[in-house]
Amino acid sequence: MARDFLLPDIGEGLTEAEIVRWLVAEGDTVELDQSIVEIETDKALMEIPTPFAGVVVALGGPEGTVLDVGQVLVTIQTADEDAVAPSVSSSSSDRSEPAPIVGTLSEDAVDLTPRQARVSGTPDAPAARTLPIVRKLAKELGVDLHSIMGTGHEGQITRDDVRRAAGLEEDSEQSSEPEPVAEPEPVAGPEPVAGPEPVAPAEPVPASPTNSVEVSRSTVGGETVQVSKLRRTIAERVSASWREIPHVTTFGSADVTRLMASRTALKRRRNAPVSIDAMVVKAVVTALDRHRAMAARLDGETLEYPERIDIGVAVDTPDGLMIVVVEGPAVRDLVDLSAEISRLSEAARARSLPASAFGGQSFTVSNIGAVGGGYGTPIVPYGTTGILSVGRAAEKPVARAGRLEIAPMMPLSLSYDHRVIDGAEGRRFLATVIENLEEPTLFLA
């Protein structure tokens, strides 16, 4: 019997995904829960397993095809009814827990699960159709799938549902807000300017009834190449930020003589790496304690202040600039913070982070000094109020007590939402950051 496996709703606000790589071909025999395709969503790459065993009859489209949730991902010919993972039967009292069905089955698939059992679980009957990655998350968080009401397609339990059950997820209204994924490379210039130069909005993606690779293309060097799902998402988010947020950028520089000396001493004492990124994040977190509005989020006529300060760190990856979120940097020491930033950065470059690692930050730090940058005009990530661009420290002449000395000066560029932050408050926040960087004991104490 031929069965259609539909693109499942795994949560995270997923509405569509792009087929990056097929792991099987038509005619291949697949086993239950075998990974069959690699897809790319707005935030992550992931492999999708099959909900039943059999022979692949048809693929939902070639690599590069964009599918909506609920569209046919693959059609598989099953040998018999036993090839399908069994649904839950509430009438059996001595059964063992069934192998959960992955994703969504089409109408011609056998499904003995009553409608209510599909929507919510009971102590004896966990909701069916749970992806392996969702089951794994539930196990890691200690969440009982029996008690969760699924909010996905036809009652499927999603990762959002599991996180909410574990007390880690915001309410659905907040989680449906666009999440900042990346911001463009700030433009470095020899002289500070009053604000960012206007940029052309991303070209609209033409509608395509077939969702084929022609949806979005760009010509580079005489060759036509497909624009990735991530790059399209970056364009959409940056364009939304530029349209809706009145940007102001202010500039300054910090003498990081003592910062560099403290970093060297810490590395020697702890015998572990201490990154500049970690020290800048610590300086910023301390400044945000004094200037709370810089970490607030504007929602209509209200400002939402976060319960905990999480910092986004921009990471240069082969697929584009991505912002990973470091949770609770205020309570981490510098060695631990350095290790966490390094871990997140490497995982972002490998595209192995879950979607939950992106978005939801209180403030963003972008170290353009890592690629030789100086001053810039960074764009505020959508849904936040400010971003600090950090340039490469370079030796400059500095006047001290009437004498001319040479000191390592770090260029800083702060962009913020002028609806929330006035110019004077923006300068005060940057002055506090500079003070912290020049005297690191202010955030090390």
| 97 close to 126: Cβ distance less than 8 angstroms | yes
Any idea what DSSP says for residue 382?
A: T
Kindly state the tokens that stand for 328.
């609770």
CA dist., res. 156 & res. 246, Å (int): 40
> Contact 43/355 with Cβ under 8 angstroms?
yes
Alpha-carbon distance of 205 to 276, in angstroms, equals 39
Q: 101 by DSSP, 3-state: which? A: coil
What one-letter code names the amino acid at 103? Answer: G
The tokens of 264 are what? 């060297």
In angstroms and rounded to an integer, the radius of gyration of the C-alpha atoms of the chain is 25
Active site residue 153: no
DSSP 146: G
CA 273 to CA 275: how far, in whole Å? 6
Distance of CA 109 to the CA centre of its chain: 35
Residue with token string 């304690």 = 289
As a whole number of angstroms, the distance between CA 17 and CA 19 comes to 7
Tell me if 45 sits within 8 A of 230, measured CB to CB: no
What span, in angstroms and rounded, lies between the C-alpha atoms of 293 and 72? 46
Which of 146, 153, 291, 418 is the catalytic position? 418
In sequence order, which residues have a C-beta less than 8 Å from that of residue 277 and are 6 or more positions away? Answer: 313, 338, 341, 365, 367
Strand extents, DSSP E, 31-186: 35-40, 45-49, 54-59, 66-68, 72-77, 104-105
Q: What counts of helices (H) and strands (E) characterise the chain?
A: 10, 20
- The packing angle between helices 276-290 and 257-270, to 10°, is 120
312 strand-pairing partners:
325, 364
Q: Please list the active-site residues.
A: 418
